[in-house]
Amino acid sequence: MSEELKMNVGLQPLDAIMTEKGIKNTDLVSSAPSGFITHKQIQKGRKGRRLTMHMQQKVLDTLNIYSVPETYKWEDLFTYRGKKDL
């Protein structure tokens, strides 16, 4: 399997949730503490660029901060489990 195929897993459920609810990357970045997450990190998560477990957790936490009182689980956002940080 090529390196590109390993790194890209396709559109994630996160993208569908955000699109359906009209949430923009900027909305999530603005709702998180300063410096917690960037637009680029959220975009990578939406488009299926492999993220570490830590970064997946940051995306999940940020979406849950924005979506109060609604909450999401990891399985709601991603079709894969990221590798541990090296």
* DSSP class per residue in 16-77: HHHHHHT--HHHHHHHSPTTS--HHHHHHHHHTB---HHHHHHHHHHHHHHTTT----HHHH
Tell me the C-alpha to C-alpha distance, in Å, between residue 8 and each of 12, 27, 32, 77.
10, 24, 26, 15
Does residue 80 lie in a domain region?
Answer: no
Is the per-residue pLDDT at 14 higher than 70?
A: yes
State pTM to two decimals: 0.88
Does residue 37 lie in a domain region?
Answer: yes
Q: What is the mean pLDDT of the chain?
A: 91
Domain count, the chain: 1
User: Which of these, 3, 14, 72, 1, lies nearest to 47 by C-alpha position?
Assistant: 14
Does residue 16 lie in a domain region?
Answer: yes
Does residue 13 lie in a domain region?
Answer: yes
Does residue 41 lie in a domain region?
Answer: yes
pLDDT in tens, 21-56: 999 999 999 999 999 999 999 999 999 999 999 999
Q: Domain span at residue 41? A: 3-67
Does residue 77 lie in a domain region?
Answer: no
